[in-house]
Amino acid sequence: MEFDRESGILLHPTSLPGPYGIGEIGSQARQFVDSLERMGQRLWQILPHGPTSYGDSPYQSLSTFAGNHLLISFDDLVDEGLLNADRLRKFPEFPDHEVDYGPVIEARMEILRSVCRTFERKASDELKQAYHEYCRREAFWLEDYALFYALKDAHDLRPWTEWPRELGLRDPMALDEARRKHHTAIRNVKIQQFLFDRQWQALRNYAHQHHVKLIGDIPIFVAHDSADVWANPDLYYLDGTGQPIVIAGVPPDYFSATGQRWGNPLYRWDIHQHTGYDWWIRRMKKIFEMVDIVRIDHFRGFEAYWEIPAHEPTAMNGRWVDGPKGAIFDAMITAIGQLPIIAEDLGVITEGVEALRDHYHFPGMRILQFAFGNDAKAADYRPESYPTNCVVYTGTHDNDTTVGWFWSNAGENSTRTQEEIEAERQTILAYVQTDGSQIHWDMISLAAKSNAATAIYPLQDVLGLGSEARMNVPGVEGGNWRWRFRWEQLTDEIQQRLYDICEWSGRIY
């Protein structure tokens, strides 16, 4: 489908301000919706909102269906009578500019466990009835996820392939015994998922009341250590022990001589086709219950994907294998109807991928930071080349901030020389006719006045922040996904300036 001429902000909920160590989906999120409305923004884009594991990456979730319980608003729990405000007065103090994941998770889980322990006593009859209805409605994924999470917790968070064989390979008698043994832990997981869902739906309704739509995000592949793979092993290429036979990645390119070895198990598309793509339809139905538009990461994998033997240490010795192509989208459309999807089509894209994207009128992505280099595709990212049916970003969660990118120099791991970087910088200055002192506003303005129907700006760029506010550095294990902003950074002047830019570029109506 084609989108209206609008713009929005990219900000993951973990980056919201608040006193409890990490962003939440309660009052702080609603306050951000208020800010979006004041800035004339109709879209709020987030990263995948599922529960995270080792490395804290939202792109390696424990479940594609579950919500991240760490985002549950404590203040909203107090308002519903499920949490005593006195407990929060003793909550540890954490940095307000970043998420210190280890200690924050420990402190927040202590609060959530206490809420679960007293839920039956403190919850109203209406709330308890809503909880039981939620469990019945979501049983198709919730039962497996709750058991998976309880077992993972009981086994020191180790991957499911390292559990006792009968549990990892889902022996029915062993699972029945585990359900009895871990009954309380399973119940706690269900309560947390119910509370997350309840608060998320309240946030979405609030956003709609203020004319803001939510853009969600799903990676095409799921994590091997997830309830999705553990509960549905027949849908993936796994051996008799549950280990992947072949894994996902991308081949060597300009940025990496050995390619990228992601490690996600690959789908058995023949089995998915035989089931009418039932699992995928359920996945998409669920995400569209949570958001209004969905960005699919690595869209090109539906046309063809890079298959790497699991024993290979790099992505070099792989091969291209055909994906399901249009058959999967035909099945989705039959089951769901219209699909408001953004196709992440970055990197080396073939005519086949473009044809698949365009056949279903999915807008692709354009990144302004890619528009001024010396590679052959740079011209495709220049604003004058954009089709209407695309989404322009100043940068994404994987890019440096615009300020950090513009002023960067060749470092130890840089793939370019200092001369190439300086040449790119001079190209930008000449193209934009600027001195670079407010490069973030220059790039936001370029995106806003482009022909692209949708323009998205990371909040870091709106705030004019440098590399210290970068969300993720691909290929680096530690220190990612931590950045948070503070309300005093989002000044009235900044909000008015973004409103003005979007008004004169025809993105406010």
- Positions marked catalytic: 297, 344, 398
CA atoms within 13 A on the CB side of 487: 13
For residues 397 and 471, is the Cβ–Cβ distance under 8 A? yes
Reduce the secondary structure of 221-279 to three states and give it as a string. Answer: CCCCCCHHHHHCHHHECECCCCCECEEEEECCCCCCCCCEEEEEECECHHHHHHCCCHH
* 173 three-class SS: helix
Reduce the secondary structure of 437-505 to three states and give it as a string. Answer: CCHHHHHHHHHHHCCCCEEEEEHHHHHCCCHHHCCCCCCCCCCCCCECCCHHHCCHHHHHHHHHHHHHC
Q: φ, ψ for residue 60 (rounded to 5)?
A: -130, 70
CA 308/CA 405 separation, integer angstroms: 32
CA 143/CA 187 separation, integer angstroms: 10
CA 186/CA 423 separation, integer angstroms: 57
For residues 239 and 310, is the Cβ–Cβ distance under 8 A? no
For residues 74 and 24, is the Cβ–Cβ distance under 8 A? yes
**Cα 415 to chain center, whole Å?**
27
Residue 199: other Cβ atoms inside 10 A: 21
* 301 three-class SS: helix
Q: Which residues contact 82 (CB under 8 A, 6 or more apart)?
A: 115, 118, 119, 122, 123, 195
Q: Are strands 213-219 and 6-10 parallel, antiparallel or unpaired?
A: unpaired
Kindly tell me the sign of the dihedral angle through the C-alpha atoms of 54, 56, 60, 61: positive
List 246's β-bridge partners, or say none. 309
* 44 three-class SS: strand
Q: Which two tokens stand for residue 153?
A: 């917790």
